[in-house]
Structure 1
Amino acid sequence: MIKVLVIGYVWPEPNSSAAGVHMLSLLQFYKSQGWQVEFASPAQTTDHMVDLNEYGVSSQQIALNCSSFDEYIQQLAPDIVMFDRFMMEEQFGWRVDKYAPNAMKILDTEDLQCLRGVRHEAVKANVDFDTSKLLDSELAKREIAAILRCDLSLIVSDFELELLRNTFNISEDLLVHLPFLVDLSKLPSNLPRFEERQHFMTIGNFRHAPNWDSVLYLQKLWPAIKKRLPDAELHIYGSYPPKKATALNNPKTGFLVKGWAEDAIEVMKQSKVCLSPIRFGAGIKGKFLEAMLTQTPCVTTPIGAEGMHGDLPWHGCVAQNDQEFVEAAVALYTDETQFQNAQSNGLALLQARHDKVYLSTRLLNKITAIRNTLARHRTQNFYGQMLKHHTLRSTQYMSQWIEEKNANKMR
């Protein structure tokens, strides 16, 4: 039986973030192949983490900068190791190379954090985003190095796939496009009709900077929408709301910070329109997948819709400016024909881009092909081998120095 070890940056919280949903779908994919799956993480456990035992996945707490992991991975002897984001590859990749050298290494990028970081800096500086800035990014150098050191990287956004190919010259052999997996046979049914829905909504983990920025920007846009629709409210959901977020709650203006949603699908399907003026970020957005599943039209920005619709029409409106955003929000809220057209677009996007059966087959074929020719695959990835050579001498020694330093504190 094939053994899969997943090293998580955090414990999966599918009700808190799209990353948690995506991670759980990957764990379920591995289990569906009849493989043994273990999830390990150095992160603290949380109240909202999923019970992995319910999915047949074992779990293990591991430590950073500690040789206990060396013994652990030798005993487990995994055939495949998947890292949750590049930081976990940095921390544990060299140990995997040393103590489980024949294990296939997969990197689940979630999104390109260097892209999100450079865009965030552009927003703060009030300048246009320039792709060339990625080449100067320290974060990009770390992230691309991790991609090169792995045998395969999972990329959720086709925009980011092209960026990796064209800007960073990453070989197609090292990448696979894997957006959110949806079982099309189990789409929600008996959804509320246009006249049965009410109010606007948005949702997103408040710890994620693009989500918090989006809430602040909605505070700027909301008065213009409220003026046109006096009875409408904006319900803002998300896990881990800080005091600065709950302080924005204002019943008089209908700007309502609801916080944690026990069931994101339920609150989404009761709403009429989802609003999300995302100004920076990367990857693809779980809130929009939930909106497609519940046939709730969305108004967002080009960055918000990026990587999710290709040449197909968006399920709502991709607004180019504030005025267009407000106009689209009002139109979708009041015009049933536009509302229904947006719903149809969302269903078409699910069918074309998120079919779990098709995407899972493509991923399995890619993994199988690489595992069957792993030595040759690695030989052809010269830059990856070069980076591994130097990493084993820099990251390894730094980690061992930290471990020794921590040991001395305990003496």
Structure 2
Amino acid sequence: MKILVIGYVWPEPASSAAGYRMLALLETFRRQNWQVTFASPAEKSIHRANLPALGIDEVNIALNCSSFDEYISALQPDLVMFDRFMMEEQFGWRVERHCPHAVRLLDTEDLSCLRHARHQASKASEHVELDVKPELLFSEHAKREIAAILRCDLTLMISKAEIELLERVFKIDPALLFYSPFMQPTISASQQQDLPPFKLREHFVVIGNFRHAPNWDAVLWLRQTIWPLIRARLPEAELHIYGAYPPPKATQLHNPKQGFLIKGWANDVNQVMQKARINLAPLRFGAGLKGKLVDALACGTPSITTSVGAEGMAEHDSWPQPVEDTAEHFAERAVALYTEPNQWLECQQLGFELHNRCFNFNTHSEALIQRLIQLETELDSHRLSNFTGAMLRHHSMKSTQYMAQWIEAKNRK
């Protein structure tokens, strides 16, 4: 099978969870000996993955340019995966015109309209925002994202909580959605034993790309409220904050006297996480699954997070580590977990079990391949059952097409 992935950005596995999840999807395709090409209109960064070394072709493509039509007509992929709905908006009509029989796959990374709605709600409240009002959820952003889901043959969803929301609130046909969480190697018993024990670990850690709004908000909440409460109880403890692309407003928060240390880029997330005793993820809004929590599970580092952070991370809301939504309770649980080795060890062991049960690479990659093969063989009947999607492609793709062609003509002048 010939696969074309149209990326919103070039994958940076050391910068974001979205980056290493994309690599896991690409590896899933490559394990089938499928021919995989990754194309993106974004500028290549110095932190991007070396895709050619993984047997994946790289192609630069342009927005609003007919050169893509020539490229995809020659390539004739069997499956095209759009990385986030914006890429489907830009290139979906071109794919349909030149490769009408190619499977159209959308990878949302997270349900961004939910993240945006929670972000808007958080601006009017200092509380953790899990449920949002319909007037915030049913936004222009949501209309675009849901339309892209309906236009595609299948959408990969990282969170079962978001699948449930799409089916219940937006009435999306379950046949259009597929659960595809983070996919990681199993942590063996010997690997667990080799990790640093409680007594050899110290300090707290926070990890998250500073360009991601929920992460920056979490840093501010820590700085203004949570960390002073922890520091008052643990005056020798430090908070080490790592993340890609720290802006000046973040580095200005660096304060060694208060143990609040902005470390910036982490060359090796696992190494950083394994040295820490506790991982903090005080997320007041957001969506999807939290890569920082999955990393912590694999490194045997217990986490404290909020209900937003824990959402979708385990079956039936059974996240086995502390979840607190107020600064006072969050700090209290952080101190307790930091100072009680038996509680820490129990959280660690439950974390290993959850990691191996819920994020097993082989389990999820095999299920995805089976679904894609089935979809390819049943594509005509599958599309016939999605009249709404066909209608949206007929109308909205025309408007997108004309806008793109107008921009292209304007750029020639």
Q: Which residue of 1 aligns with 2:19?
A: 20
Shift of 1:400: 0.2
Aligned to 1:344: 349
Distance (whole Å) between structure 2 residues aligned to residue 5 and residue 118 of structure 1: 31
In the alignment, the residues of structure 1 paired with residue 105 and residue 136 of structure 2 have an alpha-carbon distance, to the nearest angstrom, of: 23
Map 1:108-187 → 2, pairs under 5 A: 108-126=107-125, 129-184=131-186
Contact 1:94-1:391 within 8 A present in 2 as well: no
For residues 35 and 185 of structure 1, the distance between their equivalents in structure 2, rounded to whole angstroms, comes to: 28
Q: What is the correspondence of 1:222-371 to structure 2 with a 5 Å cutoff? A: 222-311=227-316, 313-371=318-376
Number of the residue aligned with 1:383: 388
* Deviation string, structure 1 residues 28-60 (Cα, Å, up to 9, x no partner): 000001100000000000010011011100000
Are the aligned partners of 1:206 and 1:212 in contact in 2 as well (CA < 8 Å)?
yes
Indicate the SS of the match to 1:153: strand
| 1:206 and 2:204 correspond | no
1:194 paired with 2:193, answer no
The alpha carbon displacement at 1:62 in A equals 0.2
Partner of 1:78: 77
Count of aligned residue pairs for this structure pair: 407
**Partner-residue secondary structure (3-state), 2:322:** strand
SS in 2 for 1:184: coil
CA 1:185–1:251: 2 relative to 1, 3 Å: closer
CA contact (8 A) 2:187 2:352 kept: no
Task: State the one-letter code of the partner of 1:348.
Answer: E
Offset from partner CA, 1:87-133 (integer Å, 9 cap, x none) = 00000000000011110000000001100000000000228642523
Which range is displaced more, 135-144 or 149-158? 135-144
Alignment of 1:78-97 (within 5 A): 78-97=77-96
Deviation at 1:135, TM superposition (A): 4.9
- Which string of whole-angstrom CA distances, capped at 9 and with x for unpartnered residues, describes residues 258-305 of structure 1? 000000010001000001110010000110010000010101100011
Aligned with 2:257: secondary structure? coil
Deviations 1:149-185 (A, max 9, x none): 0001000011101001101111111111111001216
Is the contact made by 1:134 and 1:140 (CA closer than 8 Å) also made in structure 2?
no
SS at match of 1:361: helix
CA shift for structure 1 position 315: 4.2
SS at match of 1:235: strand
Instruction: State the partner residue of 2:405.
Output: 400
Q: 2-side partners of 1:135 and 1:306: how far apart? A: 17
Please give the alpha-carbon distance, in whole angstroms, between the structure 2 residues aligned to 1:282 and 1:326: 23
Say whether residues 1:56 and 2:55 are aligned partners.
Answer: yes
Q: Which amino acid aligns with 1:120?
A: H
Listed as ranges, the gaps of 5+ residues in structure 1 are: none
The separation in 1 between residues aligned to 2:263 and 2:182, in whole angstroms, is 26
User: TM-score, normalising length from structure 2?
Assistant: 0.96
2:68 is the alignment partner of 1:69? yes
Q: Secondary structure at the match of 1:385?
A: helix
The whole-number CA distance in structure 1 between the counterparts of 2:313 and 2:133 is: 19
Supply the AA of the counterpart residue of 2:179.
Answer: H
Quick one: distance in 2 between partners of 1:406 and 1:186? Answer: 56
CA contact (8 A) 1:292 1:315 kept: no
CA distance in 2, matches of 1:390, 1:186: 52
Higher deviation after alignment, 122-131 or 285-294: 122-131
Which amino acid is 1:181 matched to? M
Equivalents in 1 of 2:72, 2:384: separation in Å? 24
> Which deviations, in whole Å up to 9, do the C-alpha atoms of 1:347-388 show, x marking residues without a partner?
121122111111112111211111001111111100000000
More off after superposition, 347-356 vs 397-406 = 347-356
For 2:276 and 2:320, the matched residues in 1 are separated by: 15
Partners in 2 of 1:162 and 1:131 — Cα distance? 17
Task: Give the Cα–Cα distance (whole angstroms) in 1 for the partners of residues 365 and 397 of structure 2.
Answer: 33
For residue 202 of structure 1, what is the amino acid of its counterpart? V
SS in 2 for 1:332: helix
Change (3 A) 1:312 1:283: closer
Provide the secondary structure at the position in 1 that maps to 2:62: coil
Letter in 1 for 2:393: K
1:249 counterpart SS class: coil
Structure 2 unpaired stretches of 5+: none
| Distance in structure 2 (CA, Å) of the matches to 1:352 and 1:387 | 38
Q: Which amino acid aligns with 1:273?
A: I
Structure 1 CA distance, aligned partners of 2:326 and 2:244? Answer: 28
